[in-house]
A and B are shown apart, each in its own frame.
Chain A
Amino acid sequence: MANNLPEVDVVVVGLGGAGGVAVLPLARAGLNVLGLEAGTWMNPTQDYKADEVHNNVRALVTTGSKVGNEIPTVRNAPSETAVQQARHPMMNAVGGTTIHYHAQSWRLNPWDFQVRSATIERYGDGYLPEGSTVEDWPVSYAEMEPYYDHVEYEVGVSGVAGNIQGQINPEGNIFEGPRQRGYPMPPLRSCDFLDHMLEAGKETGFHPYRGPAAINSQPYDGRPGCVYHGYCDRGGCHVRAKNSTDVSTIPKALATGNLVVRDNANVRRIEVDNTGKVTGVTYSRDGEEFFQPARAVLLGCYTYENIRTLLLSRSSFYPNGLGNNRGQVGQHYFGHWDIQGGTLVTALFPFDINIWYGAIAQGVMVDDWADDNFDHSGLGFIGGASLHVYTEKHPIGAAGMGTFGKVERRWGSDWKAFIKENAGRTQTAYIQTNTFPYTHTWADLDPTVRDPYGDPVLRITNGPKRNEPMAAAHAADRMEEWFRKAGASDIVNTGGGRGPGLSTHAHGGTRMGTNPDTNVCDPWGFSFEAKNLGILGGSVMGTAGARNPTQTIQALAWRTAEHLVEAWDDITA
């Protein structure tokens, strides 16, 4: 059946945010690397439009055909039947979801890596959220720092440093961990509204700063700076200023001559021998099946497909799925935007703020109410949320705004007069909550729903949480203060969250840690059970910071790839 192909050193499955970075240190080290990617190359000048219908209404850049065929089902409790939603905006393409993501590019803060021990130390044992399975990461911020640095320089990140080797710069994030040097590019340009919010934030007593972006603020690596046309969200960059991996690290890896990209290759199983060692992968391409042998495999298919691919790859050695002999694959799952993770605060200003153009990553961030940056004594929760205000507003979305109780219906002449005045006067803050794994949040295979190959899709069980909604609501109140200081006349604050749903920031399920009984991956991101299988992506993370995960995912991917190079003999023995 399957065509057998010649062996390569490393197969990287999925060339998105994670895999697209991992290929670079591997290729530079001289390994013979094959990238198998389910999607294909995008053409920036043809495929990307300054068009809300194309990007947002019809989602023509986002959902890939593979992603669309395998959307996980979701339920709140084991007693419910999980339901499949219609769309999930991840991407199948060389570059993966970094093509249309917002490119806010953060390091996690030191606390995120040691939530458990730091909480116990500061507040005592009883302060950890009930039912949470949170562990300290097996790696500290200080150990991650060099990898963050590689990503900032090789992918390209614009920003203003808040802490260079202990020197605090109040223009940057004063809460960030020390970095060895500043960003390779200054932050994205500001604008009147953001300057206004920055000042208002300071007056409120917060420490606002211009957020970092994996977008060129000036020409970098042979590509131009951002043109701020306002169609970054769910659209690719027509001038290649957004540093998706298909224009940044993957071309650099190809330039070494050691990487081959095979697109339209859908990896269906990871194969093992009778000692449990990975021998390669089986993939489908154009209706044909191939077996690709490899000395080592790195899996980077986004959290959901990472988990599912392991669970589907059963063998006599791993009857419950690859690397799952201790039942940890799918455990410790959690998402940012799922049940009660996020919250919305929308402000109406009595003046035009004109944020039509720009980019979502062109923004101002406040970290004062995130992580453990404030005293939680007596509050009854840990963590918090970041507050982010930004530009980029599209006309259909603007007209569909909430009406702040000022008109009865969202149609008719009254409403028309209302949006005429106000469509350009609102902003919804982006509030991201520290999120943790629990015993009642996990992923497994759905018993009935299948993809077109007949394989079960993933099923997410995502029970209610107490800690995260409290942390989110606390931060949302601070956001309201900030908006008021900036002169907002009306505010809608939805409080503690939304959900259930899938997450574009899905974490866990193949967690990395020191204890093989509670983690799938060892401290370097390799399976405890199948030593030559590394896992890339948010699925290895044990906590979600109060910010988007991709730069951390990429720093981890770099670290895992570099470890493979350094421990090659050991890992592939």
Chain B
Amino acid sequence: MADNFGKGKTGNTEGSSGISRRKVLSSAVSATSVSLIPLVTTSCTTPIQPSGLVLSAEAQPLLEAFVDRLIPADENGPGALAAGAVFYINNSMADWNSQETDVLVEGLFALTRAARRRFDREFTLLSDSNKDALLRDMEDGQIDGFDNSAQIFSRLHRLTLEGMFSDPYYGGNQNYAGWDLIGYPGAVMASSPDMQRMGGRLPPLHTSAYGSDFDGE
């Protein structure tokens, strides 16, 4: 949408509807009558590529350690690290969230400075329980000399969720780890009544909105 502005798409719409005559995908049109459209891509076909790593070699491991504690790998499946949340956040900082990069990176550095002060080592080298103790203080705004820690925590927390649960197209939620965790079957172009049934979880579809079959291109 934003891209549509200022593209000089003018003149050609006067006097006619200007609506694209491009065929609406026929499977979608008839979808109400069939049970389930398999809009399947086995894995996400074309994730967007990062335009270079935004995070520096110092910041990257800190972010990795951060997301790894926020959504750890455990008996309930892969965590944010394996799901590629850091990849998502890098991508997001490369374009959409670029203005935020500096303040978030500065926040990660403040976190590791606090680790050094309290435990005498970098944040990445702390035990899980010490990491968690520090993260709790960060979330609660209880770290000396790190005034905006709660705010930074909240933004990084939010970006970690996005990285874990967004469409794999953006580089996170790899192998649908996030969607499998919460039971979201996958993006579809049409849902059947059966996909809105209650009682138990729906089977995973592992489909991205940007799979090759998705929009009929």
Q: Is the CB of A356 closer than 8 A to any CB of chain B? A: yes
When A351-B199, A420-B76 are in contact, do A398 and B187 touch as well, CB less than 8 Å?
A: no
The residues of A that contact B29 with a CB separation of less than 8 Å are 224, 239
The residues of B that contact A413 with a CB separation of less than 8 Å are 72, 74, 76
Among residues 329 to 360 in chain A, which have CB atoms less than 8 Å away from a CB atom of chain B? 351-358
Q: Is the CB of B117 closer than 8 A to any CB of chain A? A: no
CB-based contact A41/B18 at 8 Å:
yes
Q: Is the CB of B209 closer than 8 A to any CB of chain A? A: yes
Chain B contact residues: helix, strand, loop or mixed: loop
Task: Give Cα distance in the complex from A46 to B9, angstroms.
Answer: 15
CB-nearest residue of chain A to B22: A45
Number of residues in A with C-beta < 8 Å to the partner? Answer: 80
Among residues 203 to 217 in chain B, which have CB atoms less than 8 Å away from a CB atom of chain A? 209-210, 214-216
CB-nearest residue of chain B to A92: B5
CB-based contact A45/B20 at 8 Å:
yes
The residues of B that contact A423 with a CB separation of less than 8 Å are 181-184
The segment from A77-85, A254-262, A438-446 that touches chain B is A254-262
The residues of A that contact B136 with a CB separation of less than 8 Å are 409
Task: Give Cα distance in the complex from A423 to B76, angstroms.
Answer: 14
- Contact pick for A239, options B8, B24, B96, B166, CB 8 Å: B24
- Contact pick for B196, options A53, A354, A400, A411, CB 8 Å: A354
- Contact pick for B189, options A192, A238, A398, A424, CB 8 Å: A238
Interface centre among A44, A57, A92 (most CB of B within 10 A): A57
Task: Give Cα distance in the complex from A409 to B71, angstroms.
Answer: 12
CB-based contact A227/B18 at 8 Å:
no
CB-based contact A43/B24 at 8 Å:
no
CB-nearest residue of chain B to A356: B184
- Contact pick for A238, options B24, B135, B183, B197, CB 8 Å: B24
- Contact pick for B32, options A47, A49, A54, A224, CB 8 Å: A224
CB-based contact B8/A286 at 8 Å:
yes
Among residues 1 to 56 in chain B, which have CB atoms less than 8 Å away from a CB atom of chain A? 1-2, 4-6, 8-10, 13-20, 22, 24-25, 28-32
When A239-B29, A409-B139, A411-B157 are in contact, do A45 and B24 touch as well, CB less than 8 Å?
A: yes
The residues of B that contact A193 with a CB separation of less than 8 Å are 196, 198
Interface centre among B10, B181, B183 (most CB of A within 10 A): B183
- Contact pick for B184, options A218, A395, A411, A417, CB 8 Å: A395
When A93-B1, A240-B24, A357-B195 are in contact, do A412 and B182 touch as well, CB less than 8 Å?
A: no
Q: Is the CB of A326 closer than 8 A to any CB of chain B? A: no
CB-based contact A65/B5 at 8 Å:
yes
CB-based contact B24/A44 at 8 Å:
yes
Task: Give Cα distance in the complex from A50 to B198, angstroms.
Answer: 22
Q: Give min CB distance, B111 to chain A, whole Å.
A: 14
CB-based contact B216/A50 at 8 Å:
no
The residues of B that contact A466 with a CB separation of less than 8 Å are none
Task: Give Cα distance in the complex from A351 to B188, angstroms.
Answer: 23
Residues in A lying within 8 Å of B, measured CB to CB: 39-47, 49-54, 57-58, 60-62, 64-65, 92-94, 189, 191-193, 196, 218, 224-231, 238-240, 246-247, 250-251, 254-255, 260-264, 285-286, 351-358, 391, 395-396, 398-400, 409-413, 416-417, 419-420, 423-424
